[in-house]
Amino acid sequence: MIIYLIAITVFMIQCFILFYIYLSQQKRFKKDMQNPYEPQQDLNQFFYFILLPCLNEGKVIKNSLNHLIDLKGRMHIIVIDDNSTDDTVSQAQSVAGPISIIQRKLPNAQTGKGDALNSAIPEINRIISEKKLDSKKCIIGVLDADGVLSGNTIYKLNQSFQNSDTDAVQLRIKMKKPEKILQTFQDVEFFVVNHMIQLIRTYIKAVALCGNGQFFRVSSVLSKLGNKPWGNALLEDYELTLRMELKGLKIKYVDEAYVEQEALKKVKKLIRQRARWSQGGWNCWKYFKQITTSNVVTIGQKFDTYFFFIQPILNILADFSIIFLTFDFISHYSDNPEFIFIATIIMTTVSFFFGTVFTLIYHKELKLHDKCNLVIQKDDMINENMHLRKTILSIGLISYIYVILFFSLIISCYHLLIGHTSWDKTQRN
């Protein structure tokens, strides 16, 4: 009971802080969004290396490449094929533009996303030397193979990297064409909840990189982390965040531009994906001592790291507490079904509160982006005028998604116990 109360208290405090920070940033955000393509600038002042790690991405890679080469600014795209068995390579080769393709072969392939990304660094160094580029003006970006950037991305990245203190930038993330309820949940989760978490992290100077839409300056990051900046954790983006923080590198969050990605349609795929992410989080525990004893990592960054580490443990214990308390409550009041019914209604109403608020904010954010003409494709805004049934279902799923994701946490713990460390890639829809 105590663990459950601690967990629910932490959750409620976290949500209210999210709402407060979000509301406090609205004036600034609306002002920035009035003209998302400002300020006027030389779009060629930086050179971008865009990395797209691929394993059987034939369904999506061509569309992503076509969108990338349409962006303004100087860039070179590097497709990293991790021994795909489909037509990924031929699809990439069919797109004309400044594109290189690195083909990794077994047994030196499929050893993790971090390894795949690191394999592109020699090619980047070669191009920098060949073109005589200034590494301070060179930026490495990482997109998922299905990733598509909003049209103003280069404007906002240039604006951020003009500050020499900015070593890395993380963009906002959104889901493509979220039709099904499960896809809508993922859109709310990334476009709203994760966005709000990044706003809090901005406030405490602890912004975290994500697997999609991360960018960093070549000169500062490679000089501090070497030619293999990514580690081998299954959550390579958060591991890179910790490694940057340990070296005093500064990460900024940009919410006026976004990257879109494909949302999963099936619960089984979602559980498998989140199990991998959860296990990746456990992998990062190896940095606990370094973070704790570091004189470089700030108090805010340490707090964020500890919370990230402890939250899944608290979630597992709370979920078991909920299961036990539910059965205990039913057995205790089995002779009073009216009371059980009333209690269920009250608890359901309370639990729906936060899901309702997140859904309302989601609608508001969609309308704002549409109004500012900052939409990659109109279908991304399919939930802008969501009908009542879908709204209620979305609120319910947002409120009770922990029931589904509980299995992801258990699977991740099981994989740790049996020593399962391979990259379980989620297949495309």
Taking each helix axis from N to C terminus, what angle separates 299-332 and 236-246, rounded to the nearest 10 degrees?
Answer: 140
* Neighbour order of strands in the sheet with 138-142: 99-103, 74-81, 47-54, 138-142, 214-217, 168-176, 251-262, 148-149
Residue 328's pLDDT is what?
76
Cα 395 from Cα 353, distance rounded (Å):
9
3-state secondary structure of 176: strand
Residue 4's pLDDT is what?
61
Residue 11's pLDDT is what?
78
Instruction: Tell me the β-bridge partners of 260.
Output: 148, 174
Domains present along the chain, CATH in parentheses = 1-429 (3.90.550.10)
Cα 368 from Cα 375, distance rounded (Å):
10
Q: Are 209 and 240 in contact (CB under 8 A)?
A: yes
Provide the token pair at 159.
């604006």
Burial of 339 (0-12, 13-18, 19+ CB in 10 A): exposed
Phi, psi of 274 (to 5 degrees): -70, -30
DSSP sequence for 98-157: SEEEEE--TTSSSS-HHHHHHTTHHHHHHHHHHHT--GGGEEEEE--TT-EE-TTHHHHH
What pTM did the predictor assign? 0.91
Give, in order, the Cα–Cα distances in Å from 99 to each of 102, 105, 114, 118. Answer: 10, 19, 21, 17
- The H or E element containing residue 174 is strand 168-176
Provide the token pair at 15.
């949500």
| Residue where the block lists tokens 């405490």 | 204
Amino acid (1-letter code) at residue 13:
I
Pairing of strands 74-81, 99-103: parallel
User: Cβ–Cβ contacts within 10 Å for residue 232, how many?
Assistant: 16
Provide the token pair at 195.
């966005």
3-state secondary structure of 295: coil
Per-residue pLDDT of the chain (429 residues; tens, 9 = 90+): 576 667 678 778 888 888 999 999 888 888 877 777 776 778 899 999 999 999 999 999 999 999 999 998 999 999 999 999 999 999 999 999 999 999 999 999 898 899 999 999 999 999 999 999 999 999 999 999 999 999 899 999 999 999 999 999 999 999 999 999 999 999 999 999 999 999 999 999 999 999 899 999 999 999 999 999 999 898 999 999 999 999 999 999 999 999 999 999 999 999 999 999 999 999 999 999 999 999 999 999 999 999 999 988 888 887 787 777 777 777 877 788 887 788 778 777 777 888 899 999 999 999 988 888 788 888 888 898 888 888 888 888 887 787 788 889 899 998 888 887 776 666 666
CA 281-286-292 angle, 5° bins: 105
Phi, psi of 102 (to 5 degrees): -100, 125
Residue 158's pLDDT is what?
95
3-state secondary structure of 250: coil
Contact partners, residue 21, CB within 8 Å, separation at least 6: 196, 199, 200, 203
| Residue where the block lists tokens 């090619």 | 123
Burial of 120 (0-12, 13-18, 19+ CB in 10 A): buried
Report CA torsion sign: 389, 391, 394, 400.
negative
Residue 93's pLDDT is what?
96
Provide the token pair at 3.
């663990």
CA 138-115-424 angle, 5° bins: 125
Q: Are 257 and 153 in contact (CB under 8 A)?
A: yes
3-state secondary structure of 416: helix
